């Protein structure tokens, strides 16, 4: 042991001997393994020495925006300081530097009785200082390797800054573009969320959680948070049991199987029970049936909020309900520290439940290696050398370009030649160096991104003339540099059109226009729900005016949610969905615009024709009256089609891929049998490209109705120009099972349809039967 040897007290000496006598020599894996007896002995040796107040303290998490290096007149700071000295705090969040984490850890290690180290947490959602595409955008890459790589780099930078734990990934199924937090996940599909969530967990946690460049991950929000009514943040969730098990829970089960260190519960209620107090979900399913051994942290203040929900009479009852339901750590509601001791003495909370929660927290701290060295993450050299490096920026550029989705490319306007005579770069987001960072940007520095204008200037030949005009301002500035995403409401500029005339003059002179429009970075994210998902401010006026004087327009979208593009889709020839791509945004967009990279992104979420379609998702139910164009009494709309403008899985390339010869090696299998499926895919164009080959399945008749189509597998493969490849999938019981009317996961016999193609609207289909 390193630091512990320097702090010798009789109690600490006993703890040290217990730790050293049963030190675990095996690495901590990120997959479920049999119980590690030596690790459990170490955990129990600490637990046996703890008083009740110290146990409860391990279940308390404080916000750390304070000065740990000197005295403070703030009463809240003084209160937290005293609690730290008593060893009555288990974790702190929002402490973000080696100096501050070290000083805060020292308070505990030098003053508390048992000297149990703190675990420091922070919202590292899509990068720490090197910022990657927002998670929804990165998910559009459908590239699990680069998603894992970006999480690993985020972990490396986070760990180098003294932080042990991130509140990511968000693996909520998100079907409603109005919900601002849709930007933080992987979209609408259960399978895609599952595999991307696991990739991010592996990136954060690596193969050995005790290594200094890894951090603990957190699967959130458990559960149903993304299905809030009307897309309104924190709203009620009403879903049935089968939808919960078949659509919402599988990504969380995958996260548990991958050994994610922590879970976070959700703000919402499910069928009248707040998720924070949901015993069936947390204690019975997660910790019981799934046999998961990490700990559950509440979302900010969500334990106390059960009183506001009308589920608890007061904070005392809220603490009782949450702890008994399996919520282990209280983030900033002060309910556990205020009432758990009384509740134990009154017999309303068992000491067994307290011990279980504490054991889970201690286990993660041991796995991180904090008991061996509480200061192992406090290395100024790493903090100086491992953050925002040239290597990290190069990888961020690679991830960003692979996240771009080509939505439209009429007349092959893209890619643009680098020797084009002139380009007009227009729009409120064209020269922004801040919007591309998106929301939840951790320590991304204000104005640090490469702008689209910079990217284009760096890419074209010296002879190309570039005209730049902003055209309109999207927002009236109210957020100051350094403010967090909750600081101010956005104020949109709905009147100022002063720059449109100059933009038109630039468009008239140019051979081609690159028009950067979309959203403010803070239009999406937590608390950013909207009823309007089209272009805010005077952007539509700018688009219409520019198109009148120059038809060669490439729209570059920067946004955090699916947008209503109906007003531009029929006329604008080329549309690139670029999301908020992070630090290297401008370079990555230029890579695609000028053809250095052939776009390969696919939508992880459906784009609507109108906000009135929301929530919109491809894997809906058929209903008893599916679409019929000849009558009005069907499940549709009288004023627009019910289909997506751009469906889930959609994305174009600078080449074309044709699918043919879909073949199954058998047309009938038993419930535990397998089918080998092959399909031929040909790159029929004259440039190399990557394609995401997608496999969809439908169970035609079942004990509970099934979606019309569900993604069950995909492969991202590169093809040379003119090349044909035979792609193989294996269909097995894992693909065919679901949570049935028997309330178990099983395969039911019957007829199944299977599709393979480049998006969820593919029509290349076959069928097979499953027998008893």
Q: Is residue 552 part of a domain?
A: yes
**pLDDT computed for residue 477 by the predictor:** 77
Q: Is residue 711 part of a domain?
A: yes
**pLDDT computed for residue 669 by the predictor:** 97
Residue 516 has pLDDT above 50, yes or no: yes
Residue 15 has pLDDT above 70, yes or no: no
Q: Is residue 324 part of a domain?
A: no
Residue 16 has pLDDT above 90, yes or no: no
Asked if residue 609 and residue 477 are part of one domain, the reply reads yes
Asked if residue 673 and residue 572 are part of one domain, the reply reads no
Asked if residue 566 and residue 497 are part of one domain, the reply reads yes
Residue 229 CB neighbours (<10 A): 12
Residue 659 has phi, psi (to 5 degrees) of: -110, 135
Q: For residues 405 and 187, what is the distance between their CA atoms, to the nearest angstrom? A: 14
Q: Is residue 157 part of a domain?
A: no
Kindly name the residue from 299, 386, 434, 591 that is annotated as catalytic.
299
Mean pLDDT of the chain: 93
Asked if residue 521 and residue 404 are part of one domain, the reply reads yes
Asked if residue 549 and residue 404 are part of one domain, the reply reads yes
**pLDDT computed for residue 629 by the predictor:** 67
310-364 per-position pLDDT tens digit: 999 999 999 999 999 999 999 999 999 999 999 999 999 999 999 999 999 999 9
Asked if residue 666 and residue 600 are part of one domain, the reply reads no
Give the chain's count of helices (H) and strands (E): 23, 28
Could you tell me the residue range of the domain that residue 665 belongs to?
657-771
Q: Is residue 283 part of a domain?
A: no
Mean pLDDT of 209-220: 97
**pLDDT computed for residue 72 by the predictor:** 53
Q: Is residue 701 part of a domain?
A: yes
678-727 per-position pLDDT tens digit: 999 999 999 999 999 999 999 999 999 999 999 999 999 999 999 999 99
- Contact between residue 39 and residue 24 where contact means Cβ atoms under 8 Å apart: yes
| Confidence class for position 382, pLDDT limits 50, 70, 90 | very high
Residue 70 has pLDDT above 60, yes or no: no
Residue 621 has pLDDT above 50, yes or no: yes
Residue 68 has pLDDT above 70, yes or no: no
Annotate 322-347 with DSSP letters as a single string: HHHHT--BEESS-HHHHHHHHHHHTT
439-482 per-position pLDDT tens digit: 999 999 999 999 999 999 999 999 999 999 999 999 987 767 76
**pLDDT computed for residue 17 by the predictor:** 32
Asked if residue 674 and residue 540 are part of one domain, the reply reads no
What dihedral angle (degrees, nearest 10) is formed by the CA atoms of 437, 442, 445, 446?
60
Residue 11 has pLDDT above 90, yes or no: no
Q: Domain end: 613, 647, 675, which one?
A: 613
Q: For residues 188 and 174, what is the distance between their CA atoms, to the nearest angstrom? A: 5
Q: For residues 523 and 189, what is the distance between their CA atoms, to the nearest angstrom? A: 23
The residues, any chain, with a CB within 8 Å of residue 678's CB and separated by 6 or more, are 661, 662, 663, 726, 727, 728, 729
Residue 384 has pLDDT above 60, yes or no: yes
Q: Domain end: 613, 647, 680, which one?
A: 613
Residue 369 has pLDDT above 90, yes or no: yes
| Confidence class for position 20, pLDDT limits 50, 70, 90 | very low
Does the annotation count 67 as an active-site position? no
Asked if residue 678 and residue 595 are part of one domain, the reply reads no
Q: For residues 109 and 116, what is the distance between their CA atoms, to the nearest angstrom? A: 7
Question: For 511-549, b where at least 16 C-beta lie within 10 A, e where not — what string?
Answer: ebbbbbbbbbbbbbbbebbbeebebbbbbeebbebbbeb
**pLDDT computed for residue 411 by the predictor:** 86
Asked if residue 557 and residue 482 are part of one domain, the reply reads yes
CATH number of the structural domain spanning residue 532: 3.40.50.1700
| Confidence class for position 490, pLDDT limits 50, 70, 90 | confident
The total domain count for the chain is 2
| Confidence class for position 489, pLDDT limits 50, 70, 90 | confident
| Confidence class for position 565, pLDDT limits 50, 70, 90 | very high
Asked if residue 587 and residue 674 are part of one domain, the reply reads no
**pLDDT computed for residue 4 by the predictor:** 35
Mean pLDDT of 525-551: 97
CATH number of the structural domain spanning residue 724: 2.60.40.10
Q: For residues 588 and 597, what is the distance between their CA atoms, to the nearest angstrom? A: 9
Asked if residue 675 and residue 592 are part of one domain, the reply reads no
Asked if residue 576 and residue 679 are part of one domain, the reply reads no
Q: For residues 693 and 665, what is the distance between their CA atoms, to the nearest angstrom? A: 19
37-64 per-position pLDDT tens digit: 899 999 999 999 999 999 999 999 999 8
Mean pLDDT of 519-547: 97
**pLDDT computed for residue 77 by the predictor:** 81
**pLDDT computed for residue 23 by the predictor:** 33
Q: Is residue 680 part of a domain?
A: yes
SS3 at position 653: coil
Mean pLDDT of 183-197: 98
Q: Domain end: 558, 590, 613, which one?
A: 613
Q: Is residue 507 part of a domain?
A: yes
Mean pLDDT of 539-563: 98
**pLDDT computed for residue 383 by the predictor:** 97
């Amino acid at each position: 042991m390193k630091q512990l040897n320097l702090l010798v007290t009789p109690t600490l000496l006993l703890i040290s001997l217990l730790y050293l006598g049963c030190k675990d020599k095996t690495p901590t894996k990120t997959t479920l393994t049999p119980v590690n007896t030596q690790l459990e002995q170490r955990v129990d040796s600490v637990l046996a020495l703890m008083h009740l107040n110290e146990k409860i303290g391990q279940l308390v998490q404080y916000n750390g925006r304070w000065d740990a290096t000197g005295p403070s007149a703030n009463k809240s700071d003084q209160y937290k300081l005293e609690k730290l000295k008593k060893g009555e705090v288990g974790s702190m969040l929002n402490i973000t530097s080696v100096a501050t984490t070290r000083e805060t850890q020292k308070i505990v290690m030098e003053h508390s009785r048992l000297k149990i180290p703190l675990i420091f947490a922070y919202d590292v959602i899509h990068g720490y200082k090197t910022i990657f595409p927002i998670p929804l955008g990165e998910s559009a890459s459908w590239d699990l390797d680069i998603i894992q790589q970006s999480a690993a780099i985020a972990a490396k930078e986070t760990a180098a800054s003294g932080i042990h734990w991130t509140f990511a990934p968000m693996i909520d199924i998100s079907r409603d573009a109005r919900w601002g937090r849709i930007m933080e996940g992987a979209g609408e599909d259960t399978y895609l969320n599952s595999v991307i969530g696991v990739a991010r967990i592996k990136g954060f946690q690596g193969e050995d959680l005790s290594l200094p460049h890894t951090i603990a991950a957190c699967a959130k929000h458990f559960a149903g948070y993304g299905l809030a009514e009307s897309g309104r943040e924190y709203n009620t969730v009403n879903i049935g049991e089968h939808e919960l098990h078949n659509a919402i829970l599988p990504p969380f089960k995958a996260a548990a199987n991958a050994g994610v260190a922590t879970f976070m519960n959700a703000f919402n209620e499910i069928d009248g029970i707040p998720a924070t107090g949901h015993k069936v979900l947390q204690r019975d399913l997660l910790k019981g049936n799934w046999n998961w051994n990490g700990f559950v942290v509440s979302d900010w203040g969500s334990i106390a909020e059960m009183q506001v929900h009308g589920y608890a009479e007061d904070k005392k009852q809220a603490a009782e309900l949450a702890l008994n339901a399996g919520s282990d750590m209280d983030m900033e509601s002060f309910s556990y520290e205020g009432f758990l001791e009384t509740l134990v003495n009154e017999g309303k909370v068992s000491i067994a439940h307290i011990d279980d929660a504490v054991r889970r927290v201690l286990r993660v701290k041991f796995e991180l290696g904090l008991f061996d060295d509480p200061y192992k993450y406090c290395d100024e050299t790493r903090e100086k050398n491992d953050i925002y490096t040239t290597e990290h920026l190069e990888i961020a550029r690679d991830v960003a370009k692979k996240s771009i989705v080509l939505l439209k490319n009429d007349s092959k306007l893209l890619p643009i030649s680098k020797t084009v005579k002139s380009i007009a770069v227009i729009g409120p987001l064209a020269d922004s160096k801040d919007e591309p960072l998106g929301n939840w940007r951790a320590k991304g520095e204000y104005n640090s991104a490469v702008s689209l204008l910079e990217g284009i200037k760096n890419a074209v030949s010296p002879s190309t003339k570039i005209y730049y005009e902003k055209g309109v301002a999207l927002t009236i500035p109210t957020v100051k540099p350094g403010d967090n995403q909750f600081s101010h409401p956005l104020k949109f500029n709905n009147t100022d059109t002063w720059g449109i005339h100059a933009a038109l003059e630039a468009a008239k002179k140019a051979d081609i226009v690159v028009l950067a429009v979309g959203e403010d970075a803070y239009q999406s994210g937590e608390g950013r729900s909207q009823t309007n998902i089209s272009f805010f401010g005077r952007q539509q006026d700018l688009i219409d005016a520019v198109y009148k004087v120059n038809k060669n327009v490439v729209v570059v979208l920067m946004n955090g949610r699916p947008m209503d593009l109906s007003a531009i889709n029929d006329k604008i020839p080329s549309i690139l969905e670029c999301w908020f791509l992070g630090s290297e945004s401008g370079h990555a967009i230029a890579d695609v615009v000028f053809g250095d990279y052939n776009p390969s992104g696919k939508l992880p979420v459906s784009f609507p024709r109108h906000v009135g379609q929301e929530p919109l998702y491809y894997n809906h139910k058929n209903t008893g009256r599916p679409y019929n164009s000849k009558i009005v009494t069907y499940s549709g709309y009288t004023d627009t089609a019910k289909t997506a403008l751009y469906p889930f899985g959609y994305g174009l390339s600078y080449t074309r891929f044709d699918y043919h010869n879909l073949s199954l090696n058998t047309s009938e299998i038993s419930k535990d049998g397998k089918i080998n499926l092959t399909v031929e895919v040909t790159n029929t164009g004259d440039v190399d490209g990557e394609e995401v080959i997608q496999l969809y399945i439908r169970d035609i008749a079942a004990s509970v109705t099934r979606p019309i189509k569900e993604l069950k597998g995909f492969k991202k493969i590169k093809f040379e120009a003119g090349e044909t490849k035979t792609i193989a999938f294996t269909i097995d019981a894992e693909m065919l099972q679901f949570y049935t009317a028997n309330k178990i996961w099983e395969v039911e016999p019957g007829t199944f349809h299977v599709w393979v193609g480049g998006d969820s609207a593919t029509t290349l289909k076959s069928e097979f039967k499953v027998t008893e």
